[in-house]
Amino acid sequence: MSKSSVTLSREKQIEILSKLREARYLVLRDAEAFHEAATTLEYVGQILTGTIRTGLARYKAEIVNLALQTKRHDEGEISRLFEVVREARNDAVHVGAFARHLNTRLIDLLLILEEAIMSQMNEIQDLMVRNPVVAEPWQLGAHVRNVMLANSFSNLPIRLKFDGTERWMILTAVAVMKVIRGTAQNERSNRLSMTIELAVAKGLIKPELATCVSPKTAVKDVVAKMNHLAVLVTETNDEKERLLGIVTPFDVL
């Protein structure tokens, strides 16, 4: 099979990238989710071909060709990786070390396909995580802590007053950890029961001012602005700054 250029609409690129990421996160969270995550490859094949075919094998040519767009892997390598995943998906039972090996191979393929799609994206709106989870000022510290732990979030956007003006801020896991852990046990319970707004007002939690960019900002320009904090993608309508998405270093890595 000779490699040919893959041209996809922006909408298809975004959809494929989103589904690939969801599948990767799923198998990382749940070692037994191999079959469910692998189904994503069939869905990607349907988008690439615009047809419904029977079985993952019938999408091999298109999926392999997409993976080759990275220009870092040869066709034989991608083809073998695809076959390992396809054959494992057809097997009923995977256990122990073999199951972990298969999950690793599936993640390898998903990452290669993600890279291939991302190589065609130039604006940050294409790579951002849409509809991000946000912290609300009225929420208790315990709730925000649980959200961070359940989703492995290190940053949460929050809208707070800064120098008299409402601004988008970043609530970091480090800031939450310090206010909860850096105290006696009885005081810890009190702080978990405190709203974020009150904890900020008391100086117990110190959120950081967010870097906000417009949706059409070039990816390279966002990368230049990045530090340890997530970057927020916003737009201003009727003088209100609306949050559209969030971008972490992992999203552009």
For the chain, the farthest-separated pair of C-alpha atoms sits apart, in whole angstroms, at 67
pLDDT at 153 exceeding the cut of 60: yes
Q: What is the pLDDT of residues 99-112, one digit of tens each?
A: 778 889 999 999 99
3-state helix, strand, coil in the chain (%, to 5): 55, 15, 30
Q: Per the structure block, which two tokens stand in for 172?
A: 């970091």
In whole angstroms, what is the distance from residue 253 CA to residue 111 CA? 11
Q: Per the structure block, which two tokens stand in for 90?
A: 């057809």
Give the number of other CB atoms < 10 A from CB of residue 181: 9
| Residues in the chain, overall count | 253
Q: What is the pLDDT of residues 54-87, one digit of tens each?
A: 999 999 999 999 999 988 889 999 999 999 999 8
Sign of CA dihedral 54, 55, 57, 59: positive
pLDDT at 92 exceeding the cut of 60: no
Q: What is the pLDDT of residues 165-182, one digit of tens each?
A: 899 999 999 998 888 876
Sign of CA dihedral 32, 44, 123, 220: positive
Yes or no: say if 42 and 143 are a contact pair by the CB < 8 Å rule: no
- Going along the chain from its start, the domains and CATH numbers come out as 10-121 (no CATH), 126-252 (3.10.580.10)
Give the number of other CB atoms < 10 A from CB of residue 56: 20
